[in-house]
Structure 1
Amino acid sequence: MRPQVAALDSELLHALIAPPGYSPDFLTPRPTRPWMGFGEGLDILHATSPDVVRHDIEAAYHGAGHPLPAVLQDVRTRPGELLQRICTALRQYWETCLEPAWWPRARTVLAADIVHRARMLAERGADGLFADLDTRVSWHDGILTLRDQNLPPDFYSPGAVDVAGRGLVLAPSLFARGAFSDIVPDGPPCITYPARGLGVVAERTTDGGSPALRKLLGAARAQLLALLGEPATTSDLAHRLGVTPSAVSQHLSVLLAAGLVTRSRHGRNVLYERTLLGSQLCRRDT
């Protein structure tokens, strides 16, 4: 993506990450509902108060002892204009670099993570939900603890937050190195954590199933079944295989009718996954 980024407002985009790796808080607005799209997040960003823009940018730099770069100097006198430039740069970055090829796979990985967490909560309760969320997170006797050993001891003030009745938002991310929290005076706290399957976001599949499975199902359906060990959408499968979504949909319909895959709707996404029978076929075929 580097050539495309270089053609954008790259000086501003790079400056939005302060030297220690911090970014101004207003750039990552909290989701207001499940499956919120990029456009909705950008609308929230557009509505940010200029005073918040100024505060958050200066906090990201000055809090770590670094001066503001020249491209961000306007935040002191014209924060509203700088905000509009930031929104334009992020929209162009999204449309040019992320949305066409990266997002279809990323969206599926995030959706699959949410499906997995919901299943763990339904089957094993909070113990199962938080057991493998992240190494920084632990759950014991109804208390959720979040520790980050990489931060200096005085970065956060230790303390307890009573969230009874306020709920808890869990947000998987493909950019988080570890779980971190966002606590607000009113409303539910939010924990952002690394999504499962990060390593396969850029994966191009070469697994076409074994010769026996291809003879049984045909090459295309055997390959699809091999890919569906984790939930995936039609568009994601089409992207990974380099074919049209309609071609994938036709084969999925046959696998669904044969009881080899199942499908479920999650927000705007329809996810397909192998059934027990489909998984048994793949295992016997290895």
Structure 2
Amino acid sequence: MPNLNGLKSRINVIKNTEKITNAMELVSTSKLRRLRNEFLSISSYQATLQNILNDLINNIEPRKLYSIFPKNTTKGKLYIVLTSDLGLCGSYNYNIFNLLKEKIQPHDQIIIIGNKGISLFKNSKLKDQVIKTIANVGDSLSYEFSSSIIKIALDLYSENKICAINLLYTEFINNLTQEAKLFQLFPFVLDKEKVGTKISQLIEFEPNAETVLVKSVPLFLTSALYKHAFSSKISEIASRRNAMENATNNAGDLIQNLQLEYNRQRQSLITQEITEIVSGADAT
């Protein structure tokens, strides 16, 4: 009897857990549907800006372009690492953390965004390379927030403290697939074969293409960061939805197995009681 009570208690606990994971799955599904529509608009805006950037670069002579963005002499790079504030999202944060460990060098610096990333780095060998942490971003992720991060990064670059600004984020491929990625925000990765190829075309920039490009760098970088951060947010929710779906399915399987075991033991106990009653009757 005590064993039956224990099984019944386990079944009830798992049923309660199943309700929680199922509810979280439904919430994540709803959020994912809404954010995907927003992401399409953000991606479209970023694609337009990228085309403008390409036109600017292609309308500047290579010599002038490389003088606008001279290479810094320092070897250190900045890594902006995007992680989640909440857990229960599978291997989402660990994939980012493992990718960073593959790429980072001792002279590099790190900005961590997200509670889970901060927790991971707290006990890591890389903790001394962290120059800034930002927690509890949650749903307050915005263009203004991205702009503030880019300002910090560009200040470091202008002071020759870093030679590149890299972004570690999670690319949303579809509801089932998300991939940790490294993207170089700045200096811009240039296609040397296309630089300066449109100088002869009738495109006018006021006062000139070089000035427009220099003034627009924060805009381009902020937009790129915002788009990739939004991709990370959708990936987090998709990963959480998948994790909760798997947890709900596993809970259902476990409940079914425990229920079968409960029924088997209960049937065995009933059979034993009947046998004892019959044996007692025969003895009298």
* TM superposition score normalised by structure 2: 0.23
More helix by share: 2
Larger Rg: 2
* TM superposition score normalised by structure 1: 0.22
